[in-house]
Amino acid sequence: MSVEAINNQPKQSALMAVLASFWFEFKQNRGAFYGLVFMGILLVCAVFADVISPYSEIEQYRDALKLPPVWVEGGTWAHIFGTDALGRDMLSRMIHGSRFSFYIGIIVIFICLTVGVMLGLIAAFNKGFIENCIMRLMDIILAFPSLLMALALVAILGPSLLNAMIAIAIVYIPHFVRLTRAQALSELGKDYVSSSKTMGASRSRLMFINVLPNCMAPLIVQATMSFSSAILDAAALGFLGMGAQAPTPEWGTMLADARQYIQSDPWMMGIPGLAILFTVLSINLIGDGLRDALDPKMKTSKT
């Protein structure tokens, strides 16, 4: 075999071994497994929404207003989950709405993982004035209750789902900054870092190639939790009127719209609420599973 082949082989199988053992531990956790299954189904719904959903999510069926779900008296199989106040099919809206849950989570954690981690690394590597500035800024954001902060931010930017996501991300960033910084600081004290430094590694190499990968584990868990919190916070902002706007079938907005019908047509609030509940629950279960599976590597960190 060539030298390269010899060099490559152990790395690959080492990586595979790590992944395999991780998967084994993860699967052990039944809750996490079911959570993953549910999210998988949801992902399929989100991606193939146009194909799967029986009707358009914005088409108003004016002669089928406020139909209850099929298991309630008055419901029909034509609209399994019933229809809303404008006659739109609930099942179709729920399926399309799953997309927004993913948008919200993905965009929020994308912003947090890029901006938050960068700031955390910069703070860890630049002790002194820069670090102080960054950490004080984070303290300021953390001093205000997150929902209030997010509300004010959305009021500034204008009510829309995208602005709600940006606002939520800004409010979450301090947690990522703190976590990254703490992890990076503890890594910085380790031998492999000082030996890299002695060998003349540049700062950016140190930051991204040496230190960052070892910080990933708690960050992944934090990201998972933030994914689910973002969905809840987006729903709360929607409830206050500052989230997605009509006719977007985002679940949180659907909840807010259905509030006035809570006594007359309770399923309009019940179904999106349950959907949010199961989605967030699944993600949290996955997060727990991740945390447990990554545990040996996380012994030193406390999230």
Mapping DSSP to helix (H, G, I), strand (E, B) and coil, where does residue 48 land?
Answer: coil
Q: Is 17 in the site for another protein (CB under 8 A)?
A: no
Contacts of another protein in 213-252 (CB under 8 A): 228, 232, 235-236, 239-242, 245-247, 252
End-to-end CA separation in angstroms for the chain? 46
As a whole number of angstroms, the distance between CA 10 and CA 275 comes to 45
Encoded one letter per residue, x for contact with another protein by CB under 8 A and - for no contact, window 45-74 reads -------------x-x-x--x---------
Stretch touching another protein by CB under 8 A, among 40-48, 122-130, 143-151, 214-222: 143-151
Residue 148 interacts with another protein (CB under 8 A)? yes
DSSP-assigned beta bridge partners for residue 83? 89
* CA distances in angstroms from 109 to 166, 168, 283, listed in the order given: 10, 10, 13
Single residue of 112, 276, 286, 290 touching another protein by CB under 8 A: 276
Question: What residue spans of 189-211 are helical by DSSP H?
Answer: 191-198, 203-204
Contact between 188 and another protein (CB under 8 A)? no
In whole angstroms, give the CA distance from residue 176 to residue 186.
Answer: 15
Closest CB to another protein among residues 116, 287? 287
Does position 145 bind another protein by CB under 8 A? yes
Cβ-based neighbours of 85, under 8 Å, separated by 6 or more: 65, 66, 257, 258, 261, 265, 268
Nearer to another protein (CB atom), residue 16 or residue 148: 148
Q: Is the Cα torsion angle 63, 67, 69, 75 positive or negative in sign?
A: negative
Distant-in-sequence contacts of 235-241, Cβ < 8 A, 24+ apart: 235/276, 236/147, 237/147, 237/150, 237/151, 237/154, 237/164, 237/167, 237/168, 238/164, 240/151, 241/159
- Residue nearer to another protein on the CB measure, 84 or 212: 84
Nearest to another protein of 210, 253 (CB atom) = 253
Which of 86, 115, 193, 216 lies at the binding interface for another protein (CB under 8 A)? Answer: 86
Q: Pick between residue 86 and residue 201 the one whose CB is nearest to another protein.
A: 86
Please report, as ranges, the residues that interact with another protein according to CB under 8 A. 31, 58, 60, 62, 65, 85-87, 132, 136-137, 139-140, 142-148, 151-153, 155-156, 158-159, 228, 232, 235-236, 239-242, 245-247, 252, 255, 257, 259-266, 269, 273, 276-277, 280-281, 284-285, 288, 302
